[in-house]
Structure 1
Amino acid sequence: MIGERFTRDARQAVLDAVEEARRDAADAIGAEHLLLALLDTPVLASFDVPRAEVEAALRDARRKGGLSDADAEALRGLGIDVDQVVASVERSLGEGVLAGGAPKRRRFFRNHLPFAPAAKNTLVRGLAEARDLGHGTLGKEHLVLALLSGRGLAAEVLRAKGVDYTEVRKRVVSARR
C-alpha cells in the first residue's frame, strides 16, 4: 500500500490536506490543499512563505476560475485580459461566481473526499523523489519536492515565493546526511 512508506509527519500532512479541503468546502483534495498542509515543513523554513500570502494567491486563482498567473499571462499574450473577463462575468453573475468550482459529484461514502488527479500525482511523485534520493520512507520534504517538480498553481505559488526545486533538493540531501 502506498501509505506504508510515509513517515508519521507525511501521513499527518495528508490528513491536514483533507482538513484544508473540507475548510475550503472543496469537492476534492487538490495539490493546493497539500501545499497549505506542507507550509510548516522544515525544508521550507528558510524561505519566506507566509501562509496568509499563499492563501491570498490561491483565493485569487480560484476567483479567476483556477487560472494561475502563468495561465493569465499566456492568455494576455493572446490578447485576452483575464482580469477584465473576470470583472465582466462578476458584474453580470455576481462576485466570486467563477470560484464555485466544478459541479458536486456524487460520493459513495458521505464524508469521503477524493483526491484530485494533481494531488494523486503529487503523492506518487513524492514516492519517486524519495526513491531517487535513496530514502526508504517518504517525508514531507519529498512532497514539497513533488509539488515543485510539477506544474500548476501550487508549484507556481511556491516559485513566486522564491522556493526553487534545485535548492530544496540540495537541502533535503544535506539534511539526511
Structure 2
Amino acid sequence: MPKINVYLPDELADAVKDAGVPVSAICQRALEQAVRRVTAIRETTLGDVEEDDPTERLTHFTDRARTAVRLGVRRARAAEAPGVATEHLLGGMLDEGENLSLLVLRALEVEPERVLGELERVTTRGVGGTASRFTADAANALELAVTEATSLGHGYVGCEHLLLGLVAEPDGTAGRVLRSLGVEPRLARRAVSAALAGYVHLRAQQAPAAPNAAALLGAAVRAEVRPLVERLDRLEQHVGLVAP
C-alpha cells in the first residue's frame, strides 16, 4: 500500500501523540472526502452544463452555494458568453443576496454593490455564445473552493468558500476585480474564519433573530481582521509602497 507522509507543526504533533489520535485513519477519511468533492467538481466542470440543474453533482455544496452557481450560469447565458467564467460565478454569488460571503466583503469594507459595478464595467458581452461549459479559470476556482473548505475543516462548501476560491484563482476576472478592491486571500480567509466563529456564537445565543444580528456579526469580523490590516499597512509603509 502506498505511503504518504504528513508533516505537522511540532506542537500539534506532540498533542496528537499525547492524545493517541489515529492519524492514519483520520487522514484517510479526510482524503476520501476531498477526492470525492474534487471528482464531483471535475465531472461538473468538464462536462456540458446541464440545462435543468448544473449543480446536480455538487451535493456537498450548500443550497445557497448551489443557487449562486445556477445564477452564475444564468448570467453567462444572458450575456451570450462562450463559457461560464469566474465573473459569472461571482455575479451569481452576489445575486443570491443573503449568503455569508456578502458579510465577509462588508467586513473588509467592500460593498457588494461596488463589486457588482466593477464586474459590469469589465465584463464584455458575448456574441451568440451558449455558455455550455465552465471555463478553465471557473473550474479552477470551484476546485479551490473545495480546497479552502477542506483546509478549514468544513464538511460542506458554502458561498464563503466560493469567495475564497475566486479570490485565490490567479487568472480569472473575478479574482482580479476582488483583489483590485482590496480583497486579498489572507485577509479574506481571516474574515471567513471570524465570520463563522461569530455566527456560531450568535446562534448559541439565539441572536440571529434579532434585527441587529448582522451588524453585531459584522462588527465582530471587522474587529478580528483589523489587526492584520494594520500590520500589512505598517509593512507596506516600511518597504515604501505607500506614504506614511
TM-score class, shorter-chain normalisation, is 0.5 to 0.7
For the aligned residues, what is the CA RMSD? 2.1
Q: Distance in 2 between matches of 1:20 and 1:100?
A: 11
Match of 1:44 among 100, 105, 113: 105
Identity of aligned residues (%): 35
Considering only CA atoms, is the larger Rg found in Structure 1 or Structure 2? 2
Q: Distance in 2 between matches of 1:100 and 1:9?
A: 27
**What TM-score do the two structures reach when normalised by structure 1?**
0.66
Task: Please state if 1:118 is matched with 2:137.
Answer: yes
Q: In the alignment, which residue of structure 2 is the partner of 1:15?
A: 70
**Displacement of 1:53:** 2.6
2:157 counterpart letter in structure 1: L
Residues 74-129 of structure 1, C-alpha deviations (whole Å, 9 max, x = no match): xxxxxxxxxxxxxxxxxxxxxxxxx757x96xxxxxx7721111111111111110
**Where does structure 1 differ by over 3 angstroms across 4 or more consecutive aligned residues?**
none
1:23/1:13 Cα in 2 relative to 1: closer, same or farther (>3 Å)? same
Would you say the 8 A contact 1:48–1:161 is kept in 2?
no
Unaligned 5+ segments in structure 1 are 60-98, 105-110
Task: Please state if 1:173 is matched with 2:173.
Answer: no
Q: In the alignment, which residue of structure 1 is the partner of 2:85?
A: 30
Would you say the 8 A contact 2:169–2:175 is kept in 1?
yes
Structure possessing the higher relative contact order (Cα contacts under 8 Å, 6 or more residues apart): 1
Would you say the 8 A contact 1:18–1:33 is kept in 2?
yes
Match of 1:58 among 109, 116, 123: 123
1:140 counterpart letter in structure 2: C
Aligned residues: 131
1:24/1:156 Cα in 2 relative to 1: closer, same or farther (>3 Å)? same
